[in-house]
A and B are shown apart, each in its own frame.
Chain A
Amino acid sequence: MSTDTWIVVGGQPGIANLVEAARSLDASVTAAVVGPRSLADSVAASGVDRVVWFGEDREAPVEAYATSVAAEVAAAEPRVLLGGRHPAERVLLGAVAASLRAVVLTGAQSVSIEGADVVVVQAVFGGIAEQTVAVTGPLALVLDGGAVPPLCDPVPVEEVDAAPMAMTVIENRPSEFEVIDLAAAPRVVCVGRGLKAEKDLTLIESLAGAAKAEVACSRPLAEGLSWLGKDRYVGSSGQHIAPELYIAVGISGQLQHMAGVRDAVTIVAINSDPEAPIFAEADYGLVGDLYTLVPAITDALS
């Protein structure tokens, strides 16, 4: 095993957190990039030491390169592997982890090297507890990729021959929902099961409009009810956000939900149940009917 760190990049450029975590380990950092040449060029200017690119094929999805990436990265025997949470990124990292029989951890809050150990502080079981663990390596970490890193002096892009697996993209269908970047929104109004009907979303949209906020939801509204797009769902297995202001409407505040928003600067909770756990994690709490409180707050803002 070498002491090198590798970043696995799959199809999208939001890797600032990966580069930052890799750089903090004081070792050589190589990025393995699957995606268009423009992506490889942007990664080459992100602050890594080396970029290995697997070439372009318009029909092959990112995942088709999993075995090629696994072979290339495993041959370098890195100690630490980093990858993002997007589905294709997880597929690439999983293939590399399999080749190296690496330990896989997904809730890391910090990572450091202590002698022969890689030490990780991580949230476990959906964030109900934290552990400090030591791994002798190799270790694969799944992290939030973060933003597109700021540009710095580029390193050369080394192209390697790749043999994509037998999978092709045969169709693309646009979503009926508008694409949004919830993580970038400074203010978010998030609605949960307290909302009785889909048509009542207009109340929430009005509040969000008055507060210049983005609309988000808890899991049941995006998965199951499909009232809102999945990129608006906040929670442990959805979006993890840290807005300046988070207004939670009709959300009880279960652990899995709060794991997605615990880092918000200010949390406002509106819920009819005074015992709802969200009040324990809110800066401002209002116990009452959202159907009267939300329009009142919308008016007060306008």
Chain B
Amino acid sequence: MRVAVAYKWTSDPQEASVGTEGSIDWSRAKAGLSQYDPVAIELARRLADETGGEVVGVTAGAAAAGSPIACKTALSRGVDRLVVVTDDSLGGAGTTAVAEVLAAAVRHIGDVDLVVTGDSSMDIGAKMVPTVLAGLLGWPAVADVTAVTSGGGGVHVEREAPGGVEVLEITGSAVVAATADAAVPRVPGMRDLLAAGKKPVEHLQLSDLGLPDASSQVTVRASSRPDTKVRKGQMIDAADPEAAAGELVSALRLSGAL
């Protein structure tokens, strides 16, 4: 089975700082593999091993996504080879633009049986790239997937459903988005890192896929810091736990919260 895993090289908003006017400063946020993508790679690796297939990593981003460190990071976690599409216009590109590039790259790879993605990207976190990607490919998609195995001439996909787990059988190619804890990703060792440097990486530009620049259809008119509710901010001295508990409960009753 040829399993593609779509991943993102990006930064964590937790490490970004926000100015008073809502401008975001990413300079102190280190770029890395998006938080949940190792889970997707692990699922893809296990499925490829089960079926005697390969894992092809695919990503779309600005130049940094094609850097040696970015490629090695993905390859050291169990990906066999990479297809990396870079263009300056892809830095900060929206969901649909990214999905269009990924769809073209998946078609370029050819004979892909399954695309696996992580739960969400750590920067935008829309959880929509896999579903738009599936729409563009005309393939079925399932999100919040906890396990994938081969079966029934295709794949068996377990996903969270209200009150339990549902098992779906999908025939033909599909896109699945894993939950954040669908698998425990392997931790690459020195040997994996060395081997990663020898694995093939295909670097593509948008023109190689017949795609135009990813022009943004969104105009930002204003930015701001989020309004935080004005809170009382009343600290209760907890040196004496019982007295503190009593004070808290009275305060909550007095304010009508209890």
Contacts and interface: CB of A to CB of B under 8 A. Distances in A.
Interface of A: 12, 61, 63-64, 66-67, 70, 85, 87-88, 90-91, 93-99, 101-106, 119, 123-136, 142, 165-175, 179, 211, 219, 223-224, 226, 230, 236-237, 244-245, 254-256, 262-263, 265-268, 279-288, 292-293, 296-297, 299-301
A300 B217 contact: no
Nearest to A246: B257
Interface stretch (B52-60, B64-72, B137-145, B192-200): B137-145
Interface of B: 13-14, 16, 18, 22-24, 94-96, 99-100, 119-120, 123-128, 130-136, 138-144, 152, 154, 156, 159-172, 174, 177, 179-181, 217-229, 231-236, 238-239, 241-242, 244-246, 248-249, 251-252, 255, 257-258
A148 B252 CA distance: 31
Given A98-B132, A103-B218, A288-B238, A91 B164 contact: no
A166 B136 contact: no
B203 to A, nearest CB: 26
A91 B142 CA distance: 7
Contact of A95 (B14, B18, B135, B238): B135
B199 to A, nearest CB: 29
25 contacts: A90-B131, A91-B143, A94-B133, A94-B141, A95-B131, A95-B141, A98-B133, A98-B134, A99-B135, A103-B94, A104-B94, A129-B224, A131-B22, A132-B223, A134-B218, A170-B168, A174-B164, A230-B179, A237-B119, A237-B120, A279-B235, A283-B234, A293-B241, A296-B241, A296-B245
B96 A87 contact: no
A131 B156 contact: no
B244 A293 contact: yes
Contact of B160 (A87, A285, A296): A87
Contacts of B132: 94-95, 97-98, 104
Nearest to B171: A166
A274 to B, nearest CB: 9
A123 B224 CA distance: 10
Given A103-B96, A103-B217, A166-B154, 10 more contacts: A63-B140, A95-B132, A102-B96, A125-B16, A130-B225, A131-B224, A171-B166, A173-B165, A223-B179, A297-B245
Nearest to B181: A223
Contacts of B96: 97-98, 101-104
Contacts of B142: 61, 63, 87, 91, 167
Contacts of B226: 123, 127-130, 262
Contact of A172 (B166, B180, B219, B233): B166
Contacts of B143: 87-88, 90-91
A190 to B, nearest CB: 15
A142 B128 contact: yes
A132 B248 contact: no
Contact of B218 (A87, A133, A284, A296): A133
Contacts of A268: 248, 252
B225 to A, nearest CB: 6
B57 to A, nearest CB: 22
B238 A286 contact: yes
Given A87-B159, A169-B167, A297-B245, A70 B127 contact: no
Nearest to A282: B231
Q: What are the nearest 3 A-B pairs in CB distance?
A: A94-B131, A98-B135, A95-B135
Contacts of B138: 67
A212 to B, nearest CB: 9
Interface centre among B127, B172, B244 (most CB of A within 10 A): B244
Nearest to B122: A126
